[in-house]
Amino acid sequence: MSKPLTPFKLSAQTAAMMMAFTLVFTALMAGTYQATRTTIAESAEAEKLILINQVLPPASYDNKLLQDTYKLGATPELGLDEGGFVYRARKDGKPVAVVMEAVAPDGYSGKIRLVIAVKTDGTVSGVRVTEHRETPGLGDYIDPKKDKNKQHPWIAQFEGKSLSVLPFERWKVNKDGGDFVYMSGATISPSAVIKAVAHAVKFAADNQAKLFE
């Protein structure tokens, strides 16, 4: 008959089993991560390109845009406290546009994150809201997915605008003396987006040489 395990030996055996389980589990997780990280990265890139192609027609550039980037440090002009990326679009080696991340800090319910494409002539190609917490049914029309007007969504007003045809001081909603329409009773959210886009357009114009070096 085998001798019963002492409390010390029992604890040691349990610890050894737990250690073995931990090592096996860790190895399995590491293996799963290694096997899937390429797929995850490719999926993330595909999602990012889908968004970019909503603000910049894919036929307008032929470079690997996600690999042609400019890293920004903290950039208050774009509302980027922790920096961000500028993606550079080129056609036959020549610059055609930049796609920028930006943040409107003064939305009705907090920050509104944006992606903005600006052509080299300073014209806005497109704008999309990527994240917001605006009140459903009111300020959320800044997001074309939630805008009930699918034919002419509010966000499309920016397309074709530039500081050369629309002075900086007129980038406001109509009631404040600007050139952008809005929905009655919901002006804070669109005003925040308009201001953020105007600053982004100005930033692109002021830093064009640096962005395309």
pLDDT at 143: 85
Question: Looking at the whole model, is its pTM more than 0.85?
Answer: no
* Residue 65 CB contacts under 8 Å (≥ 6 apart), including other chains: 49, 52, 87, 88, 89, 99
**3-state SS assignment for residue 147:** coil
**3-state SS assignment for residue 207:** coil
* Sign of the torsion formed by the C-alpha atoms of 162, 194, 145 and 41: positive
Radius of gyration of the chain (CA): 25
Average pLDDT of 34-45? Answer: 54
Instruction: Tell me which of 15-19, 80-84, 152-156, 174-178 is least confident.
Output: 15-19
Please report which confidence band the pLDDT of residue 64 belongs to, taking 50, 70 and 90 as the band edges. very high
Most confident of 41-50, 57-66, 102-111: 57-66
Average pLDDT of 21-30? Answer: 64
Q: How far apart are CA 207 and CA 204, in angstroms?
A: 5
pLDDT at 20 over 90: no
Q: What is the DSSP string of 94-141?
A: EEEEEEEEEEEEEETTEEEEEEEEEETTS-EEEEEEEE--PPTTTGGG
pLDDT at 37 over 60: no
For residues 21 and 5, which has the higher predicted lDDT (pLDDT)? 21
Instruction: Tell me which of 8-17, 43-52, 79-88, 152-161 is least confident.
Output: 8-17
Q: How far apart are CA 197 and CA 190, in angstroms?
A: 10
Q: Is there a contact between 208 and 121 (Cβ–Cβ < 8 Å)?
A: no
